[in-house]
Structure 1
Amino acid sequence: MLDGAVRKHLDPVLDRVGAKLARGGVSANAVTIAGLTLGLVAAALIAVQFYLPGAMLIVVSRLCDGLDGAVARATHKTDFGGFLDIVLDFVFYGAIPLGFIFADPQANGLAGGLLLFSFYVNGSSFLAYAIMAEKQSMTTDARGEKSLYFTTGLAEATETIAVFLAFCLLPAWFSVLAMLFAVVCLYTALSRIMLARTGFRDRQ
C-alpha cells in the first residue's frame, strides 16, 4: 500500500547510487546477493536475541534490494536478474520470522508459524497472478519497471519491513504483531483472488 509513496522519494537517490555502482563494475546480481546475505545475518542476530543490530541490518538489506534494480536500470535488465531478485526476496521474508521463532520458540512459535503460512499464501497469490497476467499480456508500472507483473495490496514490502522493525524494537510483542500482520497478509491474498476473478479474461 505504501510502496508507491516510498519509491517516489527513494528511487531518485537509489538511481544515482546505482549508476555510480554500475560505472564501477558492480553487477545488479551481486547487489541482490549482498542484500540477502545481510538479511540472513540479521535473522541470525535476531535468533540469538540481538534485536537492534538485526534491525539495522534489515534496513541495509532492503536498501540493497532497491539498489539492485537501480544498478540494472543503469546497465541492462535480465530475466535471470528478475528471477533471482524475487526468489531471494522470499528467502529474506521467511528468514526474519524464523529468526524470531528460534529466539523464543515457546512464545513465538505459533504466531511465527501463522505469519509464515500467511506469507506462503500471499506469495503464491502474487506469483500466480503474475503468471496469468503475463499469459494475458497485461502490463503495469504501478511499482516501477519490474521483471514481472506486480499487483498492489494492503501488505507490500514497505509494510512488511515496518512490521519487521517493530518486531525488533518490541520483541515481547512479536506474537501479537505477527498475528495481526498475518491477518493483513491473508486479506491481501484474498483481495488479489477477487481481483483475478474480475480482471482475467476468459480465453475462447
Structure 2
Amino acid sequence: MLDTLARRLIDPPLNRLGRGLAARGVTANRVTLAGLTLGLIAALTIALGAPGLALVPLLASRLADGLDGAVARATRKTDFGGYLDIWSDFLFYGAVPFAFAILDAGNATAAAFLLLSFYVNGTSFLGFSTMAEKRGLQTSAQGQKSLYYSAGLLEGTETIVFFVLLCLLPGWFIPLAYGFGTLCFVTATARILNARHILTD
C-alpha cells in the first residue's frame, strides 16, 4: 500500500548512489547478496537475544535491497538479477519470524502462523506475476522491477515497518504476528480476487 509513495521519496537518492557504485564497478548482484547477508545477520542477532541491536543490520539490509535495483538501472538489468533479488527477499522475510521462534519457544505457534501467511501471500504475488508476464502485462507503480508487482494492502514498506516494531517490542511478538499475518491473508485474498478479474477470459 505504501510502496508507491515510498518509491517516490527514495528512488531519486538511491538512483544517484546506484550510479556512483556502478561507476566504481560494483554489481547489482553483489549488492543483493550483501543485503541478504546483512538480513541474515539481523535474524541471527534476534535469535541470540538482542532484537534491538538487530535493527542496524536489518535496516542496512533493506537499504541494500533498494540499492541493488538502482545499480542495475545504472548498468544492465538481468533476469537472473531479478530472480536473485526476489529469492533473497523471501529468505530474509522467512528468517526473521524463525529467529523470533528461536528466541522464545513460546513464539513458535505465532511465528508458524506468520510464516504461513507469508507463504500464501507470496504465492498469490508470484503466481500472478507469472501469468502477467505470459500476457505481457506491465506496471511501474512500485518502481521499475524485473517482474510484475501487484499492489496490495501489505507490501515491502509495511513489512519493514512491522519488522522494526518486532525488534523494538519483542514482548509483543505474538499479538503483532497474529495481526500482521491476518492482514497478509486479507492481502492475498484481494490479490486472488483481482487475478480472477484480470485473468479470466
Structure 1 length normalisation: TM-score?
Answer: 0.97
**Percent identical:** 54
- Hey, what does 2:123 align to over in structure 1? 124
1:120-164 deviation per Cα after TM superposition (whole angstroms, max 9, x unaligned) = 000011000001111111111111111110000011001001010
Deviations 1:20-58 (A, max 9, x none): 000000000000000000000000000011111111211
Q: Within 1, Cα distance between the matches of 2:58 and 2:153?
A: 21
Partner of 2:113: 114
Q: Alpha-carbon deviation of 1:166?
A: 0.4
Which residue in the other structure is 2:149 paired with? 150
Give RMSD over aligned pairs: 0.7
1:159 corresponding residue in structure 2: 158
Task: Provide the residue aligned with 1:76 in structure 2.
Answer: 76
* Unmatched runs of 5 consecutive residues or more in structure 2: none
Aligned to 2:137: 138
The alignment covers a number of residue pairs equal to 201
- Secondary structure at the residue paired with 2:76? coil
**How far apart, in 2, do the equivalents of 1:201 and 1:124 lie?**
18
What residue is the counterpart of 1:193 in the other structure? Answer: 192
SS at match of 1:52: coil
Show the counterpart of 2:3: 3
Letter in structure 2 aligned against 1:94: G
Deviation at 1:201, TM superposition (A): 4.3
What letter corresponds to residue 104 of structure 1 in structure 2? Answer: D
Q: In the alignment, what sits opposite 1:92? A: 92
Partner in structure 1 of residue 170 of structure 2: 171
Out of 141-150 and 24-33, give the one that drifted further.
141-150
How far 1:95 sits from its partner (Å)? 0.4
Cα deviation code 1:77-113 (max 9, x no counterpart): 00000010001110000001111010001x2101000
Q: Distance in 1 between matches of 2:188 and 2:163?
A: 19
SS of the counterpart of 1:96?
helix
* Contiguous gaps of at least 5 residues in structure 1: none
Instruction: Tell me how far apart the structure 1 counterparts of residues 133 and 26 of structure 2 sit (CA, whole Å).
Output: 30
Runs of 4+ in 1 over 6 A off after TM superposition: none
Structure 2 counterpart SS, 1:70: helix
Q: Report the AA paired with residue 165 of structure 2.
A: A
Q: TM-score, normalised by structure 2?
A: 0.99
Alpha-carbon separation, structure 2, partners of 1:89 and 1:189: 17
| Cα shift readout 1:165-204 (whole Å, capped 9, x = no counterpart) | 10010000000000000001010000000001111142xx
Amino acid in structure 2 at the alignment position of 1:51 = P
Letter in 2 for 1:7: R
